[in-house]
Structures are given as C-alpha cells and as structure tokens.
Structure 1
Amino acid sequence: MDKRLIKRIAIALCVGPLLWVLFLFYCRPVVALHYSARATESIGFFFMIDYATRKQGMEPGETVVIPTPMFPERDLWILLSFPFDSKDSFEIRKPFSRVDVCIGAGAKVERTEIRHGFFDRFTEPREPCEPPTSKR
C-alpha cells in the first residue's frame, strides 16, 4: 500500500471520532429562555432535567440557551420554574429540537414555541418574544 493512503486512513480514523463528539456536543436539542427587556428586576430560575437541577439568574433582556440530552430517554421530564419570583412553571415531556420560552415581567411565562426540525435548534424564534417598539 502507498504511504499516502495509509496516512490519509490514519488521519480519517483520528479525526472522524473527534468530529462525531463535536457534533454530539454542539447539535443537542436546546431550550432557550428569553427574559423581557421591559422587565425591571432580575429573576432566578430552576431548570430540572430528570431530577438534575440547574439554578441560575437572568437579567432583563437576557437570553439563556440550555442544551439537553441528544438522545433522551422515552420518559424525559423537563421542568422550568421560578420559585422565588412567580408561581409559573413550564413542563416539557415530548421530544423537541428547540423550545423558546418567552418570560415577561414578574417571571410570567408569556409564550412558548416548540419546534421539531433539526436545524431549528440553531435559529431564533419565528416571532420575536417582544414586538418592536414604535418610534414616534
């Protein structure tokens, strides 16, 4: 066998698994939380995926994108709650590619959009969470 061919096969065997791991890491389904820019206070939220809890805060106008498992179990359970700011919560049980959650002032879930296309996880919501302000 030619040395060039062996070298190319060796490179492919090394690079292929690395690309697969990067694909699995960067292409996971996501939940995007959009907090209203019109809000005046920061909020805290709990994001639970099958009993693993992520606790974080958000400032007005901030967007947080949270990746979820690439190959979820059939009984995947996701819960978003605002225990200190509101009684609102949002539960996800069905498969998805991207979920956009629009959070208004007072930590109220105003609108959600669930999308299923693979490339949807890389895009913004079809309708913005807040309508553009009119200039007079």
Structure 2
Amino acid sequence: MRIQSKLLAENNYWRIRVRTDNGEEDYAITKATGRYSFYLHGRMEKIIFVKKLETLKQAYLDTGEKNWTMYFDSPVLSDSGLDIEFAIGLSIEDIEFFLANIPLTESERQMKVEEEIIQSPSVSETLQ
C-alpha cells in the first residue's frame, strides 16, 4: 500500500508534507540539506510542536537570538542522563516558516490557549 501525501510547503531548507490517505493528521518534515525527516503523528503532536515553535519565537523576540535548538524527548535516558531522542537546529526563519505552514484549526488554537492558562503559575497556584 502506497502512502498518499500532499506537499503543504517547501523552501530552500525544509519540505512539509501531510498524509492524506488515513483520515489522521500525520506530517513529514524533511530537511532539504542532509536529507532527514521527522514525523508528527496525530493532532496532539502537531499542537505540541507548534507550541514549542511559538515558545522559541517568543524567546527570539525577547532576546534577539536567531538560532535555536529544539529537543525531542525520549522515554529512554541516554548515557549522559538526558532523555533526548534528537535535536534540530532552527533559525528564526525556519521557525517562522513552520508556523506559517503548519495549519491549526480554531479549536486547536483554543486547546492551546486552555492548556497554557492551566499551566500558568498564577492559575496553578489558585487551583491548588
């Protein structure tokens, strides 16, 4: 069975594809140079990825630093004691490209907002 996908966006550094044959939202994000891909399986992984990107973009706005590393966690600890599956280096241009081209529905945006409100220190203190 051949997987069907649609190209959402492409630039000189990245290509974003979405799977269209299984009713799920699965994304393949491929680095043009180096030729590796990582995958977002399902709606929650997409929302978490976008939330991390938004955090990095805010950090850029706060600090002016243009290059960032995004870490992907693993349930298995490495020899160094860090539970990092892999990491990718991202420029602010990469971050903005992903944010502009990975779509969120209005309900997904609302989910993000509700999650952020629950996790904010002031709300957490009130809930305890």
Question: Normalised by the shorter chain, which TM-score bucket?
Answer: under 0.3
Higher strand residue share: 1
Tell me which structure has the larger Cα radius of gyration: 1
TM-score, normalised relative to structure 1: 0.26
Higher helix residue share: 2
